[in-house]
Amino acid sequence: MSREFRTALGRELEELAEAGLLRSLPQPAGAGGEGTVEGKTPWLNFASSDYLGLSHHPEVIEAGCRAFRERGAGAGASRLLCPDADLQRDLEARLASWKRREAALVFPSGYAAAAGTIPVLVGAEDLVVLDRLSHASLIDGARASKATLRVFPHNDLHGLEEILRRYRPRSRRALVVTESVFSMDGDITPLQELVALKERYEAWCLVDEAHAEGVFGRTGAGIIEALGLEGRIEVELGTLSKALGSGGGFVAGDRELIDLLINRARPFVYSTALPPPSAGAAKAALALLTSGEGTRRRERLREIIALFGGGQSERSPIFPVICGEERRATAVAARLRKRGIFAPAIRFPTVPKGAARLRISLCSFHTPEEIRLLQAELEREE
């Protein structure tokens, strides 16, 4: 390694540190809500997206272990290069049924699913329109597509319509991209109205349900299920790594969509398939999520949300605590950590400059006592 190489990279790290944007990996140990950070400080985890606590459910763990024993630790190759495992196909069939879609396709990660799908749908002659607060994976997929990219103000349907009115006539295709529950703000998109708008302009719609799954809908399938919009949204993105407590992502939709992704989605074609333990665990978690136990865990989560949110039980489990300046956010997170609460600072570029925050994420395994402790500590920081 040349000295110039190390010096150049070191200079960039110093610049990040000076701006209050330097990140490092925390080293927590333990399961569920409680554990230790760096082997020392007891903590309560308010950063997890394991909304129903299924990642540590005995049946989910056993299913993952069983797949590990029977099928090995890894898939060995991409699914186009080796015999397609029945475990993957069965998981996809169950995901499609859960989402009330014709088919589904599992990707190695939610990021891969998002970034790989958009370039298959639109290209240089087309238009893709994103909500300003869309996840980085959606933004990266839109950029990779080479389509004309336009961004509308967050949840501003008037802004969206102005873009569609102006650019749709000159575009072969138009794709509107949004999240149903936004990962950093926790608010919900006005999906019913957005769908009506995209239909008026003959556009397609892609909705990322990653943070709605397990939380909303009769079976926990998300906002689309809650609003009965399955037949009016072309592409649905989901994840196996949050409420389903495993790892990976997926796309659900028409059979033609899935067949085209199998042929053209580069992160699917050129990535090793999801490891069997992850697929096995996700399959077991999905069975639990759609069962009576899943309903009970959702109800318990609603109670926790209402307690922290002042009675607002129907909102999402994500609560931003805005700190503003990046250094203040990291300082508040550090002080909370010393008091036993793990809620890391979220800073630019994940959120805009000057909008640094703590992202409080509530789960069904949190207790009323833990919520009251969190509230008391946050009040001390005001």
The pLDDT value given to residue 381: 75
15-19, 119-123, 217-221, 304-308: range with lowest mean pLDDT: 15-19
Tell me the two tokens of residue 76: 């060995």
Report pLDDT digits (tens) over 229-246: 999 999 999 999 999 999
Q: Is the per-residue pLDDT at 110 higher than 70?
A: yes
Residues contacting residue 153 through CB under 8 Å, at least 6 positions apart: 132, 159
Ramachandran assignment for 198, one of left (phi > 0), alpha (psi -120 to 50 degrees), beta (any other): alpha
For residues 36-58, average pLDDT? 79
Q: Is the per-residue pLDDT at 179 higher than 80?
A: yes
Residues contacting residue 355 through CB under 8 Å, at least 6 positions apart: 322, 324, 348
Q: What's the alpha-carbon Rg for the chain, to the nearest Å?
A: 21
Q: Which is more confident, 76 or 198?
A: 198
2-6, 134-138, 268-272: range with lowest mean pLDDT: 2-6
For residues 361-378, average pLDDT? 96
Q: Is the per-residue pLDDT at 33 higher than 90?
A: no
For residues 292-314, average pLDDT? 94
The pLDDT value given to residue 46: 96
Q: Is the per-residue pLDDT at 39 higher than 90?
A: no
Q: Is the per-residue pLDDT at 301 higher than 50?
A: yes
Average per-residue pLDDT for the chain? 93
> Which domains, and CATH codes, for the chain?
25-51+317-381 (3.90.1150.10), 58-289 (3.40.640.10)
349 preceded by a cis bond (ω within 30 of 0): yes
**Beta-strand relationship, 41-45 and 34-37:** antiparallel
For residues 214-227, average pLDDT? 97
The pLDDT value given to residue 25: 80
For residues 197-203, average pLDDT? 98
The pLDDT value given to residue 380: 87
57-71, 110-124, 276-290, 346-360: range with lowest mean pLDDT: 346-360
Return the percentage of the chain with pLDDT > 70, whole number.
95
